[in-house]
Amino acid sequence: MKLTSIVRAGARATSVSGAAIVLAVSVSGAALAQTPAGPPKPDLSPMLFFVGSWNCTTTQSTAPTRMGTLTKLTITADPRGYWLTQTTDRGVSYITWDAKKNVWAFIGIGAGGYGVSTSPGWTGNTLVVTDQYNSGDDPIATVTFTRDSDTAFDIVYSVATPQPVSETNSCMKAAPSTGST
């Protein structure tokens, strides 16, 4: 074999090796650039009605001191598309769809405790949410949302035991802020 053939064969091997290294680096770089696929995003559209700022007034209550109480409620959509976040002066709750259990999940945190509630979803203009678990042995409650219009809904909170408790709130969508002072 002539020396020129060996040099050419070595050059081909070097260029093949170099191409393999470039390909390997490109593939590993692409793998690093990809983020692992998370769980599929839930379809939050049935709950998007709630997104916005609301002013809720207690119109009926078994606790007379709660009558006329104004609660500001703000609901925002998670920019990643997995949750709605509800914020009030009483705490924060998160709403999402649990595809494995086929229910809406409401996870509430506040006032020194937490709770998990579920709902199968809207039936007409009514959404019934039932507590599944509350920390601190709080009683199991049912919350019924009734959509009155695109800008109004009512909330009825009720606990049957150990002592009956009931409260009704009427909520109106707050006017959007104009940003001026």
pLDDT tens, position by position, 115-154: 899 999 999 999 999 988 877 666 688 999 999 999 999 9
Contacts of 5 (CB under 8 A, 6+ apart): none
pTM equals 0.72
- pLDDT computed for residue 134 by the predictor: 76
Cβ proximity of 91 and 110 under 8 Å:
yes
Task: Flag whether pLDDT at 4 surpasses 50.
Answer: no
Task: Flag whether pLDDT at 29 surpasses 60.
Answer: no
Q: Lowest mean pLDDT: which of 40-44, 149-153, 161-165?
A: 161-165
- pLDDT computed for residue 41 by the predictor: 93
- pLDDT computed for residue 175 by the predictor: 83
| Residues paired with residue 173 on neighbouring β-strands, in sequence order | 54
- pLDDT computed for residue 42 by the predictor: 95
Assigned CATH topology for domain 45-173:
Lipocalin (2.40.128)
Max Cα distance, the chain (Å): 105
Task: Flag whether pLDDT at 8 surpasses 90.
Answer: no
Residues 74, 172: Cα–Cα separation, whole Å:
12
Q: Rounded mean pLDDT of the chain? A: 79
Nearest Cα residue to 97 out of 148, 158, 35, 48: 48
